[in-house]
Chains A and B, each alone.
Chain A
């Protein structure tokens, strides 16, 4: 009993690290976008396109890291599209997000067809568990470098938003577009740039899906992770560091099912499959309120109203 509990906990730890990485990238990217007062619901499509481009890039160049860069660039393209379209008057950013979600997924499936079969070089993990004699623990601690890149990006972004001129500009634009305009800041340009960078990060998150875990490209690769990550940002109250913690929590929840399977518990497999969605919904219900807007919410934001 005790040992099977340990196995489950270790599997959940490893799972949390693996599953959380794409959540982390998307949530941190969306956090930046939302800090500037705009919502990009299309990151689900960006994630899928990033996964496809990374896999194709790694397959053709032989270098998975080039694949990651390509994925980021593809994500920036989608982000830039969203950012550009939403700066036109009378265009609804939530609706454009839905359209970008369908468009990104469509493009990824269209060009991704030839890459379902072949095997591309994957990102190598860093074996941090070498000190342990426990094989399970050692494999759980095989951590992908992108995990650390994500944490670094979140820390850097959190610091930059608080302490730099650029961070102040982004926050001003997000809290009051009128004040930003009065300061001579181009609101549209700032939001365009934050959406583009947000798209870059989401694309890199997609690269993790296809190049590390699960580590292959197919059409069912992402089922709503991008969307859940957007919901996570509300839960994390628009702080990049809290986004990382929320992503870890989600990774742990997503890992319960496979962890239980590893000790032979297969009942409720579909329930545990649905657990992250139910958890997201539960968190949204718990943290939203009909009476007041969420704490720390950028003043210009429409999604959490």
Chain B
């Protein structure tokens, strides 16, 4: 629980011993390590403080924080079974977090991942209905994925376009689009596309076992996790090593400067929003094709909202999203166990997530306040 403080000194302690006479390359590395360790230490500290506050909260309502940690460990990480469950649940979190991170680099706070996930998943399930039985799985699945990505991309792309073309606040519009997207899915799932043989819960027709996305060989984890990790690395390269990413980051830093440079700001904004929506739509495809087997209201399970927190905690860095998503995947996976073993309501995980989010954003104020992260190494740089 109090791992924040030691982690801070460990990470930053390493590069102190660089002698002034050593090569410039080494001191450059030391400087970068020192500077970037701040971005690890402060979020870790925020996590620790949030965990501490949540511990007090648990004690106040008469539950044991130690039991809570124990149950999260067992439910999320302790055994091969639970860890695979965690990885499975982190797959949509990686993708919905990317849906927040990419627009964030261009200076937009998009929080509509939930809507793009739901609509993308629904569109994938809908396009599968006539194809199941008529076309082979190797043809059906890619088409489902493409349709899911395209619909998600259009959905968030719309929020990006409105932002650029009409100056509509993208945070509000993307969340409104989420409500509209869920309403559209309900409209079809309870109407035209409802599977009438299933009286329990309004759903589309199941795509069937033969058409489901398989597991990564040797594990119980579906391919969505693998795709999410690959995509996180690919997008990291796109945003840090290409002209497109550079232009996007310039726009995020100062839109007027980007316009003055003649960068195609409008196209960059829409492109980033569409990449984001595509990621969330892909998450919806995997939820349908690898987990649920059909589209229904369970698609709106809150992955899109947890993804917002994951992306902020990873400071909108694609690669950092993967470990953070696994951490929160474990929290989500352990939710059921916490409910059963400790008699806590299912909203407990929501409270913890909200608390982490609030503390994390408060910790933004700490950047640049600790001398340990600046100190000597910067002198060598000049």
A residues contacting B by CB (< 8 A) are 41, 81, 85, 88-92, 94-96, 98-100, 102-107, 109-110, 113, 223-224, 227-228, 230-231, 234, 270-271, 273-274, 277-278, 280-281, 284-285, 288-291, 303-305
- Given the interface pairs A88-B365, A277-B180, the reply to whether A110 lies near B187 with Cβ below 8 Å is no
- Asked if B308 lies at the interface with its beta carbon under 8 angstroms from chain A, I say yes
Docked-complex contact B309 and A288, CB < 8 angstroms: no
Q: Which of B164-172, B275-283, B317-325 lies at the binding interface? A: B164-172
Docked-complex contact B365 and A230, CB < 8 angstroms: no
Which residues of chain B are near A281, meaning CB under 8 Å?
168, 173, 176-177, 180
Q: Which secondary structure dominates where chain A touches chain B? A: helix
- How near does chain B come to A106, taking the closest CB pair, in angstroms? 3
Docked-complex contact B358 and A274, CB < 8 angstroms: no
- Asked if B109 lies at the interface with its beta carbon under 8 angstroms from chain A, I say yes
- How near does chain B come to A72, taking the closest CB pair, in angstroms? 21
A91: contacting residue among B308, B351, B364, CB under 8 A: B364
B residues contacting A by CB (< 8 A) are 109, 111, 162, 164-169, 171-173, 175-177, 179-180, 183-184, 186-187, 190-191, 305, 308-309, 312, 345-348, 350-355, 357-358, 360-362, 364-365, 367
Q: Can you report 15 residue pairs joining A to B where beta carbons are below 8 Å apart?
A: A85-B362, A89-B365, A90-B364, A98-B308, A100-B354, A103-B351, A103-B358, A109-B347, A113-B345, A284-B162, A285-B166, A288-B169, A290-B166, A290-B167, A303-B171
Which residues of chain A are near B312, meaning CB under 8 Å?
95
3 tightest CB-CB pairs across the interface, nearest first? A103-B354, A106-B350, A109-B347
A95: contacting residue among B109, B167, B186, B345, CB under 8 A: B109
Closest residue of A by beta carbon distance from B165: A290
- How near does chain B come to A115, taking the closest CB pair, in angstroms? 11
A98: contacting residue among B111, B164, B186, CB under 8 A: B111
Distance in angstroms between the alpha carbons of A41 and B187 in the assembled complex: 28
Which residues of chain A are near B186, meaning CB under 8 Å?
270, 273
Docked-complex contact B358 and A99, CB < 8 angstroms: yes
Docked-complex contact B183 and A102, CB < 8 angstroms: no
Closest residue of A by beta carbon distance from B188: A270
Distance in angstroms between the alpha carbons of A16 and B7 in the assembled complex: 56
Docked-complex contact A270 and B354, CB < 8 angstroms: no
A106: contacting residue among B176, B187, B353, CB under 8 A: B353
Closest residue of B by beta carbon distance from A284: B168
B362: contacting residue among A91, A98, A284, A304, CB under 8 A: A91
Docked-complex contact A289 and B167, CB < 8 angstroms: yes
Docked-complex contact A96 and B358, CB < 8 angstroms: yes
Distance in angstroms between the alpha carbons of A107 and B350 in the assembled complex: 8
Which residues of chain B are near A305, meaning CB under 8 Å?
167
- How near does chain A come to B344, taking the closest CB pair, in angstroms? 8
- How near does chain A come to B366, taking the closest CB pair, in angstroms? 9
Docked-complex contact B353 and A224, CB < 8 angstroms: no
- How near does chain A come to B200, taking the closest CB pair, in angstroms? 19
Docked-complex contact A285 and B358, CB < 8 angstroms: no
Distance in angstroms between the alpha carbons of A250 and B164 in the assembled complex: 26
- Given the interface pairs A41-B171, A92-B364, A274-B180, the reply to whether A104 lies near B354 with Cβ below 8 Å is yes
Which residues of chain A are near B353, meaning CB under 8 Å?
102, 106
Docked-complex contact B167 and A278, CB < 8 angstroms: no
B109: contacting residue among A81, A94, A231, A271, CB under 8 A: A94
Docked-complex contact B171 and A94, CB < 8 angstroms: yes
Docked-complex contact B365 and A105, CB < 8 angstroms: no
Which residues of chain A are near B355, meaning CB under 8 Å?
103
Docked-complex contact B357 and A103, CB < 8 angstroms: yes
- How near does chain A come to B350, taking the closest CB pair, in angstroms? 3
Docked-complex contact A274 and B345, CB < 8 angstroms: no
Which residues of chain A are near B365, meaning CB under 8 Å?
88-91
- How near does chain B come to A254, taking the closest CB pair, in angstroms? 12
Docked-complex contact B309 and A102, CB < 8 angstroms: yes
B350: contacting residue among A110, A273, A274, CB under 8 A: A110
- How near does chain B come to A277, taking the closest CB pair, in angstroms? 5
Which residues of chain A are near B354, meaning CB under 8 Å?
99-100, 102-107
Docked-complex contact A106 and B351, CB < 8 angstroms: yes
Docked-complex contact A96 and B361, CB < 8 angstroms: yes
Docked-complex contact A288 and B171, CB < 8 angstroms: no
Docked-complex contact A270 and B191, CB < 8 angstroms: yes
Docked-complex contact A107 and B176, CB < 8 angstroms: no
B176: contacting residue among A227, A291, A303, CB under 8 A: A227
Docked-complex contact B176 and A228, CB < 8 angstroms: yes
A85: contacting residue among B172, B309, B358, CB under 8 A: B358
Docked-complex contact A288 and B167, CB < 8 angstroms: yes
